[in-house]
Amino acid sequence: MEPSDPFFPGWVIALIVGFFLIIFPAIWCFVCFLISAIGGWGRLAKRFATEEVPKEAVTKKRISGRVGVANYNRVLTLHFTKAGFFMEVMPLFRVGHPRLFIPWSEVSGVHSERFFGIEMEKIKIGDPTVATLYLRKDLLGDEFKPA
pLDDT in tens, 113-138: 887 888 888 889 988 889 999 888 87
Omega of the bond leading into 91 within 30 degrees of 0 (cis): no
Q: Which domains does the chain have, with CATH numbers?
A: 1-147 (2.30.29.30)
19-36 per-position pLDDT tens digit: 889 889 999 999 999 999
Strand duo 70-80 + 58-67: pairing: antiparallel
The b/e string for 85-108 (b: 16+ C-beta within 10 A; e otherwise) is: bbbbbeeebebbbbbbbbebebbe
Q: CA 133: distance to chain centroid?
A: 11
Half-sphere exposure of 36 (CA within 13 A, CB side): 22
